């Protein structure tokens, strides 16, 4: 880069004697006064201006003469300085750009996605996070996981290949331009600073290309990610066991099918799904059950019978009664540990501070009552499914078409129930 000053200096010591076409006072070096120097520069500029009008051979000869002129280095320096002070300085000021926020964002994202970071484990963490976020359960998820990883690796490879290509091209082009400018600096005023600036421009141009590459890569990753994560697109039915667990809970809490957060967490754990999926399931179930009770009657029968069996086991075996997969109305004693499920018998436990077992018995009784109510509805001559279900859970859906408030168990807030009706009150 610092060839130019030395180059110019070497020219300065080269004598100009004997060159044709130059005024005598320039050849013998006698013009040392101010006027003479002005005259010199004027002559040289004149020759430069008219050089294109001359024939090639003549021009070459002139060029050579000028190159060897003792004033040339000084003239070059002056022209370089002028360039520095005018155009380049303005351009330079404009080129001082703040660090690109978008580029930083892209870099961060690529790093986070494991595309631009270290190879080891690249993307697997993101994939794992994506898998966790998708809420999918175990086995079929692993296939998607590996698929995601494979595609991410592919993107990563393409990205690095292209990046390498760009860097190589950038280096080659920079070297080429630098050599060219150095070569040209012999014949026109090009300072090292200007070369440096040119290199900067080239790098910026390649940087913008790289940014486009990064942008495209980010887009590809986002598409891949959205496809992988889009649970709706990749909807999988819950497995049979999970559905059973959820249904058992739903039908055994038909009077108040609103699991507490704790219960949801427990259900989620047991079903290997997320809490939000549990919430979704209950939301869907409630609305669909309410819309078409008759349709769910058979299902209700099955789970009611199951609950009855479990309840009788509970009565027979005391604290061992509640199967983990068959929570009854008193969730507190069941495997779901629903200390605040909103179920009536929860309150019994909390109010009746004397015995845990007592609450359990109450729970079992409640479950049996629910079941009995259902059996009565089935055998009591109700052909209409809706009527039957109303009999099964007369207090479950209120006049407004909704379930009773979760915090106010229906048995305590339904004075309209006839004396003959099966009651879910603790008095039972």
Partner DNA sequence: GATCATGATTTTTC
Partner DNA sequence: GAAAAATCATGATC
Residues engaged in binding DNA (CB under 7 A): 135, 230-238, 243, 258, 273, 276-277, 279-281, 283-284, 286-288, 290, 295, 401-403, 406
- Least gap, CB of 125 to DNA (angstroms): 21
Q: Which is nearer to DNA, 242 or 388 (CB)?
A: 242
In the complex with DNA, the residue whose CB is nearer, 36 or 283, is 283
Q: Exposed (0-12), middle (13-18) or buried (19+): which is 333, by Cβ within 10 Å?
A: buried
Q: How many other β-carbons are positioned within 10 Å of the β-carbon of residue 74?
A: 16
Distance, CA of 60 to CA of 100 (rounded, Å): 48
The residue to which tokens 């690109």 are assigned: 100
What minimum distance in Å lies between the beta carbon of 260 and DNA? 9
CB 287 → DNA: shortest distance, Å?
5
**Angstrom distance (rounded) from CA 99 to CA 312:** 73
Smallest separation, CB 240 to DNA (Å): 10
Q: Which is nearer to DNA, 278 or 321 (CB)?
A: 278
Nearer to DNA, 260 or 366 (CB): 260
Choose between 260 and 360: whose C-beta lies nearer to DNA: 260
What is the SS3 string spanning 250-274? HHHCCCCCCCCHHHHHHHHHHHCCC
Q: By C-beta, is 11 or 264 nearer to DNA?
A: 264
Of the candidates 351, 353, 328, the one whose C-alpha atom is nearest the C-alpha of residue 341 is: 328
Q: How far is the CB of 270 from DNA (least distance, A)?
A: 15
Token pair of 23, please?
């005024």
403 forms beta bridges with 397
Q: How near is the Cβ of 416 to DNA at its closest, in Å?
A: 20
Q: Which residue, among 335, 242, 229, has the nearest Cα to 282 in the 3D structure?
A: 242
Q: Looking up tokens 């549990």, which residue turns up?
A: 278
Closest among 353, 346, 319 to 408, alpha carbons compared:
346
Residue 333 phi, psi (nearest 5): -95, -15
Whichever of 205 and 236 has its CB closer to DNA, that residue is: 236
CB of 254 to DNA, least distance (A): 12
Going from the C-alpha of 404 to that of each of 253, 256, 340, the distances in angstroms are 12, 7, 16
Distance of alpha carbon 124 from the chain centroid: 14
């Amino acid at each position: 880069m610092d060839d130019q000053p030395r180059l110019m200096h070497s020219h300065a010591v080269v004598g100009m004697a004997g060159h044709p076409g130059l005024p005598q006072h320039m050849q013998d070096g006698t013009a040392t006064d101010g006027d003479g120097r002005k005259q010199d520069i004027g002559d040289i500029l004149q020759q430069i201006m008219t050089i294109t009008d001359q024939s090639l051979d003549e021009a070459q000869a002139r060029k050579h003469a000028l190159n060897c002129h003792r004033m040339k280095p000084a003239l070059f320096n002056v022209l370089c300085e002028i360039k520095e002070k005018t155009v380049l300085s303005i351009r330079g000021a404009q080129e001082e750009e703040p660090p690109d926020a978008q580029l930083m964002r892209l870099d961060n994202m690529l790093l986070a996605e494991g595309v631009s970071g270290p190879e080891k484990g690249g993307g697997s963490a993101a994939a794992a996070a994506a898998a966790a976020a998708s809420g999918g359960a175990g086995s079929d998820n692993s296939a998607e996981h590996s698929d995601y990883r494979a595609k991410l690796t592919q993107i990563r490879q393409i990205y690095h290949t292209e990046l390498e290509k760009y860097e190589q091209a950038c280096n080659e082009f920079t070297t080429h331009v630098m050599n060219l400018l150095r070569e040209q600096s012999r014949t026109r005023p090009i300072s090292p600073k200007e070369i440096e600036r040119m290199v900067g421009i080239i790098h910026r141009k390649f940087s913008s290309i790289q940014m486009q590459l990064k942008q495209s890569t980010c887009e590809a990753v986002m598409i891949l990610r959205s496809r992988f994560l889009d649970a709706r697109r990749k909807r999988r039915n819950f497995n049979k066991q999970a559905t059973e667990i959820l249904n058992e809970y739903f039908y055994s809490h038909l009077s108040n099918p609103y699991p507490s957060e704790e219960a949801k967490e427990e259900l989620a754990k047991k079903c290997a799904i997320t809490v939000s999926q549990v919430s979704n399931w209950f939301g869907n179930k409630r609305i669909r059950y309410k819309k078409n009770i008759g349709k769910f009657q058979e299902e209700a029968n099955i789970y009611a019978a199951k609950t009855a069996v479990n309840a009788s086991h509970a009565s027979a075996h005391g604290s061992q009664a509640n199967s983990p997969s068959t929570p009854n109305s008193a969730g507190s004693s069941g495997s779901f540990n629903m200390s605040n499920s909103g179920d009536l018998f929860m309150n019994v436990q909390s109010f009746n501070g004397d015995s845990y077992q007592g609450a359990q018995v109450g729970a079992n009784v409640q479950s049996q009552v629910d079941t009995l109510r259902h059996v009565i509805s089935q055998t009591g001559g109700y052909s209409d499914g809706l009527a039957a279900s109303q009999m099964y859970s007369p207090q479950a859906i209120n006049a407004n078409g909704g379930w009773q408030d979760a915090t106010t168990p229906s048995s305590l807030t339904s004075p309209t129930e006839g004396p003959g009706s099966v009651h879910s009150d603790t008095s039972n």
